[in-house]
Amino acid sequence: MDFFEKVRGFLLDPSKAFDAAKGEKLEEAIKYYAIIAAVYSALLAVLLTFIGTMLGSLMGGPIGGLIGAGAGAGGGIIFFILFMIFAIIGAFIGGAILHIFVYLVGGRKGLEQTIKAVMYGSTPGLLLGWIPIIGFIAGIWSLVLEILGIRQLHELTTGKAVLAVLIPIIIAVVLAVIIAALFIASFRSGIVPYRGYRGY
């Protein structure tokens, strides 16, 4: 399949598209992922540059000038590069972490298949994720595609694929809540109530 056929397949008929991707080498998934990541990075960089420029012009003064200058063409290029780096590294690190749980539920088709599921499953999130509000829906859509990808590429049941994808997310959320609670508790314990000055 060419690039646009893949996009259409993963958006409209993901089970069939993942079946077709089973025999592909990881390099093919990386090429595909690099393109959609570049589209996402470019569009989000343009959006953030536009917002920064607008804020700078509205604020005015030296601070507004600095914000506007920072959000110019140079800022857009920096945004693009950073988003691309995070997207590529995130796919491999996220895929490696996910594969631990895929293996635990019985997936034995290899790390490459898991990374392919992550990269191909990111299609809606990267193509539409830069759009406010719609980006949230696209993120959920990508999560569903990732589950389908794990199911098809590792030949697991839907239930096992759901567990493999959701368990690390639940663990991350629980850890984030615990860390936030500890931070808030330590912050509150460090505050000494002001009781007013008492002269003697």
User: pLDDT by residue (tens digit) across 69-122?
Assistant: 455 556 778 888 899 999 999 999 999 999 999 999 999 999 999 999 999 999
Q: Is residue 76 part of a domain?
A: yes
Q: Is residue 199 part of a domain?
A: no
pLDDT the model gives residue 185? 86
pLDDT the model gives residue 200? 47
pTM of the model: 0.82
Q: Is residue 129 part of a domain?
A: yes
- Maximum Cα–Cα distance across the chain: 85
Which are the contacts of 123, defined by CB distance < 8 A and separation ≥ 6? 7, 10, 11, 36, 142, 145
Question: What residues in the chain have per-residue pLDDT under 50?
Answer: 61, 64-66, 68-69, 200
List the structure tokens of 187.
């912050």
Q: Is residue 172 part of a domain?
A: yes
Q: Is residue 195 part of a domain?
A: no
Q: Which domain holds residue 132?
A: 3-189
- For the chain, the domain total comes to 1
Q: Is residue 44 part of a domain?
A: yes
Count Cα atoms within 13 angstroms, Cβ side, for 171: 9
Q: Is residue 145 part of a domain?
A: yes
DSSP-assigned states of every residue in 45-62: HHHHHHHHHHHHHHH-HH
